[in-house]
Structure 1
Amino acid sequence: MKIFMPSKPLEPGDRYGVLSGYEPGTRTLPAGFQVAPPFRPIPVDIVFERDVPVTLRDGVTIHVDLFRPAGDEPVPVVVAWSPYGKGQGTSASVKGVFALVGLDNSVVSGLEKFEGPDPAYWCAQGYAICNPDIRGVAESEGDSVLWDRQEGRDCHDLIEWLAGQEWCTGKVGMSGTSYLAVAQWFTAAEQPPHLAAINPWEGVSDVYRDLVMRGGMPDTAFAQLLRDHSFWGRQQKEDILAEAGQHPLMDELWEQKIPDFDRITVPAYVVASYSNTLHTAGTFRAWRRIASQDKWLRIHNGQEWPDYYDEANRDDLRRFFDRYLKDEQNGWEQTPRVRYSVLDLRGGDRVGVPAESFPPPGTVSTRYYLDGRTRSLLSSPSEESTAAYVVGSNPDVVSFVTRFEEETVLVGYPRARLWVEARGSDDMDLFVLVQKLDAYGTPLQQFTAHNQGALAQDLTERGASILRYKGPDGRLRVSLRHLSPTQSTDEVPVHSFDRVEKLSPGEVVTVDVELLPVGLAFHPGEQLRFVVSGRPLLGPMMPGLADYTPANSGVHVIHTGGERASYLQLPVAPLFPMTS
């Protein structure tokens, strides 16, 4: 069922790091060793085993780099699983990414995988780090796959191999952001006996819903970037774009790219944000659904890379691993199960707000009804009216506004229920956005990374949504509006994406649109604007990507009031966490 395309070997270039070549062997890197000038020297002697072969259950051999503290004391090991080259930490592309988000390369040693744990820190804390070239990458054998249960089986085998090494205590963990986070869902679901804890730090958990067909729309620009600029190897790699073209609905192919959440039972420290339009929905979904009894969620207020390499956050993660990989009784269990942030967008963010759950106890799902006549949001339905826009016109949006007269905090899962009609078409691609406005109606936004200079301003003007937060958004192709009867809840609508239901002339239908989770404070006098449009309202998620072109035409009509009372449902949280 999978579709493959030829891969090609990685050649020297912007993705080629100092340690990218194939050079099996063992050496000791002395304390003070510096792999390249921009990076931090290592603080302790590190044994570096390079390109070690590991044979998987189907006979395929992959190669891994191992970094471990010098000495005879056995140590636990943390795996960084991804298709990004195990020597890519020093590459020009990774250094460029750090510059993009305002991170100095001196915060890492350059020995780490892109988005993975730094051996310089972890070896000094008594851990080993394993950086694999996974199936089909570099000199590793086999055909590579993209975010698939096959990866879970492969990493299961690697974990069991690691646990049997004489230098290992038998305890294995996983950590990392983005791809490295996704791999952890799939691996933990395979239940390798020696996997003791995971740390998924923002990552999708459903390839169809999060990557290639969010809202049922074939928005594949980032999937193409991932396919074309990763998985360098000598055999074949999965062609995710061809699969999206041939499998536009949810089927067995995509089901194999959803981890079995019920089988994830290991302790998990999950990190999320509200602002990553690629990762946010998937991270929260996985955290909700995994079966782990010992699971923690921290929701930060920025971009994942600065957050991951922040010294305080790294030390916090070490306490978690010390508890479950070293069996230290360090009181980690007293850590609040949820620590969430509330964005202010004017410099007053609150972070680390403790709670027993997300949304926090006492949160009330509150409906704000759309009024097409006054373009306002009301506490109860108005008389029937409509608001409409012509696709491709200016303006091609309709919006609805409310002003908060008292302090209001939104924490949780927003959703919208809209009564819609397509005139001159049999389908609609709908995009929605919640914006915070100041008392004078000016939209408020916030950069998520340290870099807020002219280049960052340019990149985020009409895209790069991961770098500038403009509010929680959602999208849905109306013909794919059918809800899953087993997964949908009042807070989070989940679409089955297994059938097409086109619109007939004059037909008005209800659609439920999931918006990304939110943590947002409104002060007295500030306003909330709810926007509905037939075009993407945030632009592409990453810098340089092409924007998605919707399959829209005609006139989009939003019905409001009476028996067609469209509404925006918002999670209104108690104020006590904000004033404590």
Structure 2
Amino acid sequence: MQYSRVIVLSLALSIGFAGSGLAEPVKSGVPGMIFDHDVPVTMTDGVQLRANIYRPEKPGRYPVLMLMGPYGKDTSMADAPAYKTSWTKLIAKYPDLCRKSSCRYIRFEAPDPERWVPNGYIVIHADVRGAGASPGVLDPFSPRETQDYATLITWAAHQPWSSGKVGLLGTSFQAINQYQVAALQPEGLAAILPWEGAYDIYREIAYYGGILNVAWEFWWTHQVLPNQNGNAETPMRNSISGGTDTGAPLSADILKQNRVDPVVAFSKHPFDDAYYQQRTPDGARITVPLLDVANWTDWSTQGYLAAASRQKWLRIQTGDHMTPFYSEQALALQKRFFDHFLKGLDNGWEKEPRVAVRVRRPDGTRWRYASAWPLPGTHPERWNLNVATGSMSPEAVSATASKSYPGLGEGLTFTSAPFERETEFTGPVGVRLWVSSSTRDMDVFAALRLIDPQGRDVTFMGNSDPNVPLGLGYLRVSQRAVDPARSTIYTAFHPHRASEPMTPWKLYPIDVAFTEPTSIVIPEGYRLALTIQGKDFGYGPDAHIVHAKDYDLPNSHNSGLFFAAHPNRDPAIYGGTDTLATGGEYPSYVLLPRIVSRR
């Protein structure tokens, strides 16, 4: 993302931070907390975004925690249809949550101001342009939206109640835009804490391995559009006033003109072109202190690896996307980080291990701490595939063999022998395959699985799905080109700049993209499996699955909220006969991150 910090700041200064006069405070109902509601802040083009400001009643200058999102700064999770399931899950997990707070100001994937203001912080929550009370064109992840965020940060740093230091905190969307705005280096930004946020807009959001991710249409339709500014039909209610959150009503035609559907935009840009380069930040310009909280599924280590910050920490957790954010342990972690970098407290944060990972196993999880990522002592271990036997093994496969499968069918599965001793794999995953197709293209979907001694799939709670395997990989074979300079021993970097059609029936070596790393301690008697197919992996209604311990969940057979298969993929192209070759001159294998020494 190439914006000039000087331009952003000079424009912000040229408007004199219009909107700095606060709106009439609303009675917060929380002792010691002032609530400034719907404060207008003027952007560089004159549009006024609206923000809520929660600050200590006691006069003084305080550090600011900020977030900016599309979900409604005034919308209660407990009442909005789009968030009610999340709220129910949250309260079930933490039944005492609303005894420690009134919960009146908790918003979707956002920090609770009542847990921060008493500790000497100001919390600012703004509606993005085109959402909630903020007018304009709703265009998620756009350069305009990121410029707005930079202006808000610098505005907050100059307010009379501000210490001049601003930190960013939030999950998902409100973590993604932290990376984006940090690369603009706005004045006042002192630290960021992106909690499970994607970094690479092409590879982690729009396309998985070059295959369009249509799951964003569900997000857009159910969680974002109801909160579009001017939407008079919104089911979302303003928890402050009791009315709607979306401002003055606009006609259907104006509403349509005032929004950019991300999946429609993504489909117009199938390659990693200037559209994504404007939206994916330049990691070399992310230099502020950073704590990246990641997940083993969906969004993980990319932002941490890309950022140039010398003071950066990584935590990879397991479990669902939102509830861990509100735990007492998470709150304590967040406060220690910001107390150190926003308040300057000598609280020992600098001694915090740079990397902490939640290692998974069927009977529970535990934290491991390290100095770097991938973990020191990680050894790449090659597991060779053999289509003649349907096996995967560290032993070399000398005889060449091949096997075909329908492109839209169930594909092929390779299974290891039962492990003879407990073994751990934690880190990035690589998959090299030799493939051909009867058509000019094919899609590859790979799933790394854990099988218990009874032959059941062991599943884990993922970011958005209660049943996920150990890892998922994707590749559109016509986009198989690799940039060696940006690749590692495990993960090939695909530029995704052009399409190179396949010659029917010709074998090609490909590297399947596993965006996220994995972690598993495999007990004696368990097996690994790798499934290769031409459609999204999912557990069918007849699948035999068992949940790993620590997750009290109902059975589900979905493939998750984030899926990559486009329902309109042309079956004449992607429904052909696909072939996988192994052994001899066609070595197909999985490269697994073996942990040699565990402490």
TM-score (norm 2): 0.82
Higher deviation after alignment, 81-90 or 182-191: 81-90
Q: Does 1:414 align with 2:403?
A: no
Q: Distance in 2 between matches of 1:524 and 1:139?
A: 57
Query: Which residue matches 1:445?
Result: 459
Higher deviation after alignment, 203-212 or 90-99: 90-99
Query: Which residue matches 1:523?
Result: 523
Of 272, 286, 295, which residue of structure 2 is paired with 1:264?
Answer: 286
Of 382, 386, 392, which residue of structure 2 is paired with 1:371?
Answer: 386
Of 333, 340, 344, which residue of structure 2 is paired with 1:323?
Answer: 340
| Structure 1: runs of 5 or more not aligned | 1-22, 32-43, 449-463
Q: 1:200 touches 1:270 (CA, 8 Å); kept in 2? A: yes
Q: Distance in 2 between matches of 1:401 and 1:426?
A: 32
446 and 431 in structure 1: CA distance in 2 versus 1, 3 angstrom threshold: same
Higher deviation after alignment, 518-527 or 145-154: 145-154
Q: Distance in 2 between matches of 1:224 and 1:542?
A: 8
Q: Distance in 1 between matches of 2:414 and 2:64?
A: 52
Query: Which residue matches 1:436?
Result: 450
76 and 484 in structure 1: CA distance in 2 versus 1, 3 angstrom threshold: same
Render the CA deviation track for 1:445-487: whole Å, top value 9, x for unaligned: 1335xxxxxxxxxxxxxxx953323220111111111113442
| 1:426 positional shift | 1.4
Equivalent AA in structure 1 for residue 339 of structure 2: D
122 and 98 in structure 1: CA distance in 2 versus 1, 3 angstrom threshold: same
Query: Which residue matches 1:385?
Result: 401
Q: Distance in 1 between matches of 2:442 and 2:417?
A: 26
| 1:141 positional shift | 3.0
Alignment of 1:68-79 (within 5 A): 68-79=55-66
Q: Distance in 2 between matches of 1:399 and 1:535?
A: 17
Alignment of 1:205-284 (within 5 A): 205-226=199-220, 229-230=223-224, 232-234=228-230, 236-275=258-297, 277=298, 280=299, 283-284=300-301
Q: Distance in 2 between matches of 1:544 and 1:499?
A: 22
Q: Distance in 2 between matches of 1:545 and 1:483?
A: 20
Q: 1:98 touches 1:105 (CA, 8 Å); kept in 2? A: no
Query: Which residue matches 1:162?
Result: 156
Render the CA deviation track for 1:277-320: whole Å, top value 9, x for unaligned: 3xx2xx31111010000011111121131110001111111000
Q: 1:390 touches 1:555 (CA, 8 Å); kept in 2? A: yes
Equivalent AA in structure 1 for residue 447 of structure 2: L
Q: Distance in 2 between matches of 1:465 and 1:419?
A: 32
Alignment of 1:487-506 (within 5 A): 487-506=486-505
Q: Distance in 2 between matches of 1:195 and 1:465?
A: 30
329 and 136 in structure 1: CA distance in 2 versus 1, 3 angstrom threshold: same
Q: Does 1:542 align with 2:564?
A: no
Q: Distance in 1 between matches of 2:216 and 2:108?
A: 17
Render the CA deviation track for 1:237-272: whole Å, top value 9, x for unaligned: 222222223222221111112111110000011101
Equivalent AA in structure 2 for residue 139 of structure 1: A
Q: 2:474 touches 2:512 (CA, 8 Å); kept in 1? A: yes
- SS of structure 1 residue aligned to 2:156: helix
Of 127, 141, 146, which residue of structure 2 is paired with 1:147?
Answer: 141
Query: Which residue matches 2:14?
Result: none
Of 309, 314, 329, which residue of structure 1 is paired with 2:326?
Answer: 309
218 and 114 in structure 1: CA distance in 2 versus 1, 3 angstrom threshold: same
| 1:375 positional shift | 1.2
Equivalent AA in structure 2 for residue 312 of structure 1: Q
Q: Distance in 1 between matches of 2:352 and 2:224?
A: 37
Q: Distance in 2 between matches of 1:553 and 1:504?
A: 16
Percent identity reads: 31
- SS of structure 1 residue aligned to 2:69: coil
Of 367, 377, 381, which residue of structure 2 is paired with 1:362?
Answer: 377
Q: Does 1:566 align with 2:553?
A: no
Equivalent AA in structure 1 for residue 352 of structure 2: T
Render the CA deviation track for 1:1-40: whole Å, top value 9, x for unaligned: xxxxxxxxxxxxxxxxxxxxxx952134243xxxxxxxxx
110 and 410 in structure 1: CA distance in 2 versus 1, 3 angstrom threshold: farther
| 1:439 positional shift | 2.6
Q: Distance in 2 between matches of 1:466 and 1:554?
A: 30
Q: Distance in 2 between matches of 1:548 and 1:364?
A: 39
555 and 544 in structure 1: CA distance in 2 versus 1, 3 angstrom threshold: closer
Equivalent AA in structure 2 for residue 383 of structure 1: A
Render the CA deviation track for 1:505-556: whole Å, top value 9, x for unaligned: 2210011012221011111221100110111113543299998465422221
Q: 2:320 touches 2:464 (CA, 8 Å); kept in 1? A: no
Of 168, 172, 187, which residue of structure 2 is paired with 1:193?
Answer: 187
Residues paired across the two proteins, number: 519
Render the CA deviation track for 1:330-360: whole Å, top value 9, x for unaligned: 110000000001111x232112x10011221
Query: Which residue matches 1:92?
Result: 80
Q: Distance in 2 between matches of 1:115 and 1:229?
A: 12
Render the CA deviation track for 1:19-78: whole Å, top value 9, x for unaligned: xxxx952134243xxxxxxxxxxxx42100011111112222111000011111221110
- SS of structure 2 residue aligned to 1:403: coil
Q: 1:149 touches 1:259 (CA, 8 Å); kept in 2? A: no
Q: Distance in 1 between matches of 2:568 and 2:180?
A: 32
TM-score (norm 1): 0.85
Query: Which residue matches 1:135?
Result: 129
Equivalent AA in structure 2 for residue 483 of structure 1: V
Equivalent AA in structure 1 for residue 578 of structure 2: H
- SS of structure 2 residue aligned to 1:160: helix
Q: 2:193 touches 2:291 (CA, 8 Å); kept in 1? A: yes
Q: Distance in 1 between matches of 2:140 and 2:507?
A: 39
Q: 1:149 touches 1:256 (CA, 8 Å); kept in 2? A: yes
571 and 479 in structure 1: CA distance in 2 versus 1, 3 angstrom threshold: same
| 1:227 positional shift | 5.5
Q: Distance in 2 between matches of 1:546 and 1:387?
A: 23
- SS of structure 1 residue aligned to 2:170: strand
Equivalent AA in structure 1 for residue 398 of structure 2: S
| 1:105 positional shift | 7.3
Equivalent AA in structure 2 for residue 542 of structure 1: L
Q: 1:211 touches 1:223 (CA, 8 Å); kept in 2? A: no
105 and 543 in structure 1: CA distance in 2 versus 1, 3 angstrom threshold: farther
Query: Which residue matches 2:97?
Result: 107
| Structure 2: runs of 5 or more not aligned | 1-21, 231-254, 539-557
Query: Which residue matches 1:123?
Result: 117
Q: Distance in 1 between matches of 2:499 and 2:564?
A: 28
Equivalent AA in structure 2 for residue 556 of structure 1: D
Q: 2:110 touches 2:170 (CA, 8 Å); kept in 1? A: yes
| 1:440 positional shift | 3.5
Q: Does 1:483 align with 2:482?
A: yes
- SS of structure 2 residue aligned to 1:89: coil
Q: Distance in 2 between matches of 1:367 and 1:337?
A: 28
Q: Distance in 1 between matches of 2:559 and 2:493?
A: 23
Q: Distance in 2 between matches of 1:490 and 1:373?
A: 27
Alignment of 1:277-296 (within 5 A): 277=298, 280=299, 283-296=300-313
Q: 1:148 touches 1:258 (CA, 8 Å); kept in 2? A: no
